[in-house]
A = this chain, B = another copy of it.
Amino acid sequence: MRLLIRRVAAIPLDGVHDLLPEVDIAIEHGRIRAIGVAPPDFTPDQVIDGREHVALPAFFNAHTHAAMILLRGWAEDLPFDRWLNEKIWVAESALEEEDVYWGAALACCEMIRCGVVGFADHYFWMHQVARAVAEAGMKALLAWCQFGLGAAQEVGGVGLEDTVAFIREWNGAADGRIRCALGPHSPYMCPPDFLRRVVKEAERLGVGIHLHVSESEEQVRNSLRAYGRTPVAHLADLGVFEHPTLAAHCIAVSDEDLAILAEKGVYVAHTPKTYMKLAMGMAPLDRFLNAGVRVALGTDGPASNNDLNMLEVLRITGLVHKNRVGDPAAFPHHLLLRLATQEAARALGFIESGVLKPGAPADLILLDTRGVHWFPRHSLAANIVYASHPSDVRYVFCDGRPLLWDGQLVTLDEERIRDEAERRAFRMVGAPMRLMRRYVG
């Protein structure tokens, strides 16, 4: 499909222009052919009037557990151990393989509506997530979570062999939109021998590794006691960082840890809403950036974070860290936009995305700027970061294919997914059907 977006304002994030006040964007064969003036020989199949809209590279979500959307709102206002032990794990014990598909599909609906075209997912039964991603037309980096601890290895019915089979089947699938990684849960849930096997498989398969790292001071103390090393140094010793690594969180990190992460080119996924809702403290975004560590923004799973709204993640990141470092000039909005677009895309291995320029994949979104909350429009970029609403996202394109068109989902049957996912979620938590019906009307 050849698509022409006419007379749109664009924030290209190309390192050159802050704002192009009015341009045409020509899209062909899944890529941006021109931005500025459409080539004279360009004959579009479809034209969008871009006036009163702003075009932006689409968001990528650098860390989530999409299917945990089934537990959104199920475990509220609880201490962390009760949240996990009494609520999340109890409900997850009723998780069936097919539930993962419906949960992931629901998550895809929500992400597309928030302008997200790709996400890094870390969960169980990942071929079900892959099915949902393929149907949604999105991009993803999929990692099957593994514990490497005997019996726990059976969770989700997978050992390392099964995940290897999953990677062989799905890596590069859906026209290259699906990428796979190995997904050891974390250094505290995976013993060194298991992590060594993971590293060997990463080498053999040529894929990266996505895991949780240093989520608390307690994890660091335990690692020092067990291995004489911080979790970051321990993972470096084991050779994990010799492969492209996406390390979620890194809340408790030393300067030495940061030097290792920077040197090895590890991407840190930063998900501040979860840290706040579960009172985990705050990862030091300023120290990451000062040390040259690459950072990508994400939502984390919607069971802890309650949604998959990258606009909100942008906003919270700016607000929290300006206040943390005591400087309202820190973390300017263009930096925040980059961490949620091109940096997040690169963290997932989609290294060409996150910029509007000729030749780049047409992964972009259009936001409607006519809502009263945009006025007066002194700064479109500041409005996106600090005032926009998800409902402003009106068009979403992934490799030039529309996933959202004038506010309507194109690839997914939203109502069916929504209702089926809710039915399964209520089954998981054992809510009596009669009660459910009262909500649902």
Footprint of B on A, CB under 8 Å?
Answer: 7, 9, 21-22, 51-52, 69-74, 76-80, 83, 106, 109-110, 113, 273, 275-282, 302, 305-309, 312, 315-316, 318-320, 322-323, 325-333, 369-373, 375-380, 382-383, 386-387, 389-391, 414, 417-418, 421-422, 425-426, 429, 431, 435, 438-441
Knowing A319-B277, A389-B390 are in contact, say whether A383-B306 is a contact too (CB < 8 A).
yes
Interchain CB contact under 8 A, B376 and A282: no
Q: Which residue of B lies closest to A389 (CB)?
A: B390
Contacts of A369 in B (CB 8 A): 439
Contacts of A386 in B (CB 8 A): 73, 277, 305-307
Contacts of A7 in B (CB 8 A): 441
Contacts of A106 in B (CB 8 A): 372, 375
Please tell me which one of the listed residues B279, B421, B425 contacts residue A327 in the complex, with CB atoms under 8 A apart: B279
Please tell me which one of the listed residues B79, B330, B376 contacts residue A426 in the complex, with CB atoms under 8 A apart: B376
Please tell me which one of the listed residues B69, B425, B429, B439 contacts residue A21 in the complex, with CB atoms under 8 A apart: B439
Contacts of A383 in B (CB 8 A): 72-73, 306
Interchain CB contact under 8 A, A328 and B377: no
Interchain CB contact under 8 A, B322 and A276: yes
Minimum CB–CB distance for A127 against chain B, Å: 23
> CA A326 – CA B326 in complex, angstroms?
20
Interchain CB contact under 8 A, A379 and B333: no
The 8 closest A-B pairs by CB, nearest first: A51-B441, A376-B425, A391-B391, A306-B386, A276-B319, A73-B379, A21-B438, A376-B422
Knowing A9-B439, A306-B382 are in contact, say whether A277-B376 is a contact too (CB < 8 A).
no
